[in-house]
Amino acid sequence: MQIGLISLLDGLVYGMLLFMLASGLTLILSMMGVLNFAHASIYMLGAYFAYQISTWIGFWPALVIAPLLCGAIGAAIEVWGLRRVHHNGHIAELLFTFGLVFIIGRAVQMVWGMLPMPYRVPTSLDFPLFSIYGENFPAYRGFMLLISGGMLFTTWLLLKKTRIGLIIQAALTHPSMVSALGHDVPRVFTLVFAGGSLLAGLAGVIAGNYFTTESSMADAMGPIVFVVVIFGGLGSLAGCFIASILMGMVQTFSVVADWSFADLISPFGITLGANDLLGEILTIPVSRIGPLVPYALLILILLFRPRGLMGTRET
Amino acid sequence: MSDAAVRALPSRRPVSVAVRLWPWIVALLIAVVLPWLFYDWQHGRHSGFMISVFSQMGMMIIFALSFNMLMGQAGLLSFCHSVLFGLAGYSTVHFLNAAGAGELPVPMELIPLLAGLSGFGFAVVFGYMATKQRSTAFAMITLGIVQLVTTAATMFHSFFGGEGGVKTDRVIGNSLLGREYGQAIEVYYLIVGWMMIAAIGMYFHAMTPLGRMANACRDNHERAQFVGYDPRMVRFLQFALSGFYAGIGGGLFAITYEIVTFDAVAAPLAANALLMAYIGGATTFFGPVLGAILITLLQSGVSLMSNSWLVYVGVLFIAMVTFAPTGLTGIVLEHAPIARAGLLRRLTLPYLRIAVPGLIVLFGFVGVVELLSFLTIGMAQGKRLALFGVALDIFSPLSWLVAFACLLGGGLWLSIEARYFKRVWDGLIEASRSR
C-alpha cells in the first residue's frame, strides 16, 4: 500500500512531465503534419540552458529565461528551416528535424562536454514536503506537479478562451478552411511551433535536475514522447493527457511489480524453465521488462486502433 | 506532336548487353583490386585497417541498397531497417555456432543465404504490422518496432545474450571453395561476392512488376488501387524482400566481426542507412552505393581526425534535405539536359565563382566546430589541436576571429554567388529546352 501511494504520486509527476512534452508535439504533428524529431532535443537544450543560467543568476530567472530561449529557437527552426523544405512534402520536413537531432546532440556535447552537468534542485526546494508511511515526498516533486498543472491550465485557457486559441483549434482539423477564411496559417504554425518548443524547454528546466542533465537525455525521452502522442491520438489534447498519465503510471508501476507471466499460469499446474527464449519471456519479472511495455502498447494500438485513444482522424 | 516534344522523349536505341554490363564489371574489378592497392609488399601482408574499412563498405552497400528498396522505390521511410539487419546477424551467430558444432551441414559460402532467409522471416513478421499503414504512420510504427527490439535485445539472454551480445567463431571447417575464412581478406572476398549477388538481385527486382508497382504506390497509391492492385500487399512484399537483402548484410556483419550486440539492431544504424541513401541519392539505383561509400569513409576516416564527425554528417544531411533533395547522384543527373545541349562548358565559371566562397565557408565552419569541440572534449583528452596542418592555440583570439570571419563573411559572399549561379543555371536549362 505504501509503495502504491508513493508510486502513484511519482507516476503522476512523470506523466505530467510527459504531457508537457507531448502536448507541444501533438499540436505540431496534427496541425502541420510534421513529425518533429527535434522536440526532445529542445527539451535537452532547455535543461542545459537552465543549468547555465542558474550558475550565473540562479534557478528562478532560469525558469523563465530558458523556456523563452527554447521558444525562440523553435520559431527560428520553423521560419528558416521547415518553411524552406515544406514544398518537398512531409517526409522532407521530418528528415530536416531528424538532421537537427544530430546537430543539436553534438553541439551540446561540444559546448558543455560529455559529462553529466551538476544541475541540482535549488536549496529553497530541497526539503521533504510530507511523509507517508515513513517515506518522504520531496518538495521539488510537488513543485514539478505545480508547474506542470499550472501549464496545463494555462494552455487549456489559451486554447479554449482566446481568439488565437480558437483559430489554432480550427487549424487542427481544417487548416485549408482556416486559411480560406483569411487567417495567416503559416504564422499560426510558427506560433504553435514556438509554443511547443517553449513547453518542451520548460519541461527540460524542471526535469533536468530531477533526472540528470546529460547529452543522452534527448534519446532517452524522445521515443517515449512519440509513444504518448500516437497512443493519445492525433488532434486530441485530452487523449494526449490521458496517454501521458497512463504511460507515467505504467512506467512507474512496472518498476515495482515483481511478478511474471509464469506466476499467472502457475496456479494451473504449468511450470516453465527459463532455458529458451519463450521460457525466458514468460518467467522474466515485469519490473525488468518495464521499459518494453510502452513500445508493445504502441504497436498494439497502431494495429488495432490506428487513430489512437481519442484521435479524430487516422495518422 | 511538335518537333520539340519528340526530341524531348528519351531516345530508345537498342542497348547491347556489353554496354549494360560494363558498370557491373568495372565495380567488380575495383572491388577485387582494391585491397591490393594497400598491400604492404615489404612485409607481405594486407593492411588490416583498410580491409576492415572495405568490408564494412561492402555490407553497408547491401544495407543501404535494401533500405532504398523501401525509401526510394516504395516511398516508405523505415526506421526499423536495422532490426532486420541485426536480427539476421543474431541468427547467423547461432547458425555459425551450430555449424561449428557440426549440427548444421551448411558451407560458409551459403551462410549469408541462410541469414537472408531469416531476415526475410523477420521482415514478414514486422512487415505484417508496419505495412498496415503508409507514410508518416508507417514511419512511427517502425520507430516503435526498433525501440521494442532494442530494449528486448538488452534484456533477454538466451537469444540475444543480453548487453554483452552473442559471440561466435567463423572458422567452421566447411567450405565449398576449400577456404578456412580465418583471414580478413578471405571474408572480404566473400562479402564482395555476396554484395554483387545482392546488388544484381535488387537491380533486377526494381524492373519486375512488383518493383514497378512499388513505384506506382509511392507516387499515387489511390490510383494504384483503382487499377486493381492492393497497395498494402505491394508494401508488404516489398518490405519482406528488402528484409531478405538486409538479412544478407546482417549475416556478413556477423561473419566479419564474430560478435553481434544490440548495437546491430538499434536505431543509430537505421539512421545510418537513411543518411547513406539520402545523401547518395534515393531517386537512383546507384545513389545509396555512393552514399554508403561516402558515409563509411567519413565514419572511419574523419572520426579518427575529429571528435565531431556527426556534426559534419548532420549539417551535410540538412543541406541536402534543404537544397538538393535528390542527393548527390541527383545533382549529377540534373546536368544531363545541359550536357545534351552541349552547354556544360558555360557552367565552368559559375562553378569556380561558387567554389571559392564555398571553400571559405567550409574552412570557417570546420574551424569553429573544431575549436569549440576541442575546448570541451579534446583538451580533456590531453591532445593538441592542429587544423589543416597548423598547430593552433585555442586561447588566442586570432584563431577564433579568423574562423568566425570566414564562416560569416564567406556565408554572405556565398549567398550572393549562389544567386548568380541560380540565374545562370535557370538560363541554361531554358536554353537547353529550346534547342
Residue pair A154/A148 in contact by the 8 Å Cβ criterion: no
Residue pair B327/B283 in contact by the 8 Å Cβ criterion: yes
Q: Report d(CA A45, CA A51) in Å as an integer.
A: 10
* Domain boundaries of chain B, sorted by first residue: 16-326, 335-434
* Residue contact B321–A299, C-beta within 8 A: no
The verdict on B11 touching A (C-beta cutoff 8 Å) is no
Contacts A218 to B, Cβ<8 Å: none
Question: Residue A221's closest CA among A248, A194, A189?
Answer: A248
The CATH architecture that domain B16-326 belongs to is Orthogonal Bundle (1.10)
Q: Biggest alpha carbon distance in chain A?
A: 69
Question: Residue B307's closest CA among B233, B366, B350, B255?
Answer: B366
Q: How many residues does chain A have?
A: 315
* Residue contact B376–A96, C-beta within 8 A: no
* Residue contact A276–B158, C-beta within 8 A: yes
* Residue contact A113–B315, C-beta within 8 A: no
Q: Report d(CA A310, CA B213) in Å as an integer.
A: 34
Q: Which of B77, B136, B321 comes nearest A99 by C-beta? A: B321
For chain A, the distance separating the N- and C-terminal CA atoms, rounded to the nearest angstrom, is: 40
What is the 3-class SS of B124-178, one letter each residue?
A: HHHHHHHCCCCHHHHHHHHHHHHHHHHHHHHHCCCCCCHHHCEECCCCCCCCCCC
Contacts B133 to A, Cβ<8 Å: 302, 306, 315
Question: Residue B200's closest CA among B20, B56, B34, B14?
Answer: B20
* Residue contact A105–B274, C-beta within 8 A: no
Contacts B141 to A, Cβ<8 Å: 298-299, 302
Using alpha carbons, list the distances in angstroms from residue A55 to A211, A271, B27.
Answer: 18, 57, 58
| Alpha helices, DSSP H, located in B298-396 | 303-305, 309-323, 327-334, 336-340, 348-373
- pTM beyond 0.80: yes
Measured CA angle at B362 (ends B359, B364), to 5 deg: 110
Task: Give Cβ neighbours of residue B344 (< 8 Å, ≥ 6 apart).
Answer: B335, B338
What residue of B is the nearest CA neighbor of A296? Answer: B148
* Residue contact A280–B158, C-beta within 8 A: yes
* Domain boundaries of chain A, sorted by first residue: 2-219
The verdict on B310 touching A (C-beta cutoff 8 Å) is yes
Cell numbers standing for residue B408:
560569416
The verdict on B77 touching A (C-beta cutoff 8 Å) is yes
Distance from CA of A71 to the nearest CA of B (A): 21
Q: Biggest alpha carbon distance in chain B?
A: 72
* Residue contact A95–B322, C-beta within 8 A: no
* Residue contact A315–B373, C-beta within 8 A: no
The verdict on B271 touching A (C-beta cutoff 8 Å) is yes
DSSP character string of B286-314 = SHHHHHHHHHHHIIIIIHHH-TTHHHHHH
* Residue contact B129–A315, C-beta within 8 A: no
What is the 3-class SS of chain A, one letter each residue?
A: CHHHHHHHHHHHHHHHHHHHHHHHHHHHHHHHCCCCCCHHHHHHHHHHHHHHHHHHHCHHHHHHHHHHHHHHHHHHHHHHHHHHHHHHCHHHHHHHHHHHHHHHHHHHHHHHCCCCECCCCCHHHCCEEEEECCEEEEHHHHHHHHHHHHHHHHHHHHHHHCHHHHHHHHHHHCHHHHHHCCCCHHHHHHHHHHHHHHHHHHHHHHHHCCCCECCCHHHHHHHHHHHHHHHHCCCCHHHHHHHHHHHHHHHHHHHHCCCCHHHHHHHHCCCCCCCCHHHHHHHCCHHHHHHHHHHHHHHHHHHHCCCCCCCCCCC
Cell numbers standing for residue B309:
564527425
What residue of A is the nearest CA neighbor of B316? Answer: A99
Number of other CB atoms surrounding residue A147 within 10 Å: 18
Evaluated on CA atoms B62, B67, B70, B72, the torsion sign reads negative
Helix (H) or strand (E) holding B391: strand B390-391
From first to last of the 315 residues of chain A, give the pLDDT tens digit.
Answer: 566 777 888 888 889 999 999 988 888 887 777 888 899 999 999 999 999 998 888 888 888 999 999 999 999 999 988 888 888 877 888 889 989 998 898 888 888 887 888 888 887 777 777 777 767 778 888 888 898 889 888 888 888 888 888 888 887 777 788 888 888 888 888 998 999 999 999 999 988 888 888 888 888 888 888 888 888 887 778 888 999 999 888 888 877 766 666 666 666 666 555 556 666 666 677 777 777 888 888 878 877 777 777 766 654
Chains A, B: CB pairs < 8 Å: 134
* Residue contact B148–A292, C-beta within 8 A: yes
Q: Which of B144, B278, B377 comes nearest A298 by C-beta? A: B144
Interface mutation target, options B122, B131, B148, B368, chain A, most CBs of A under 10 Å: B148
ipTM of the complex: 0.82
Residue pair B344/B335 in contact by the 8 Å Cβ criterion: yes
From first to last of the 435 residues of chain B, give the pLDDT tens digit.
Answer: 344 444 444 444 555 666 778 888 888 888 888 888 887 778 777 777 888 899 999 999 999 999 999 998 888 889 999 999 999 999 999 999 888 888 888 888 889 999 999 999 999 999 998 888 877 778 888 888 898 899 888 888 888 887 888 888 888 777 788 787 878 888 899 999 999 999 999 999 988 999 999 999 888 888 888 988 888 899 999 999 999 999 999 999 999 998 998 888 888 899 889 989 999 988 888 899 999 999 898 888 777 666 677 888 888 889 888 888 888 888 888 888 888 877 777 788 888 888 888 898 888 888 888 888 777 766 666 566 666 666 666 677 777 888 888 888 888 988 888 888 888 888 888 888 876
Q: Which of B132, B133, B158 comes nearest A277 by C-beta? A: B158
Cell numbers standing for residue B334:
540534373
Q: Report d(CA B69, CA B206) in Å as an integer.
A: 8
* Residue contact A226–B143, C-beta within 8 A: yes
The verdict on B317 touching A (C-beta cutoff 8 Å) is yes
* Residue contact A303–B377, C-beta within 8 A: no
Q: Which of A81, A85, A277 comes nearest B156 by C-beta? A: A277
Task: Give Cβ neighbours of residue A215 (< 8 Å, ≥ 6 apart).
Answer: A44, A105, A108, A109, A112, A114
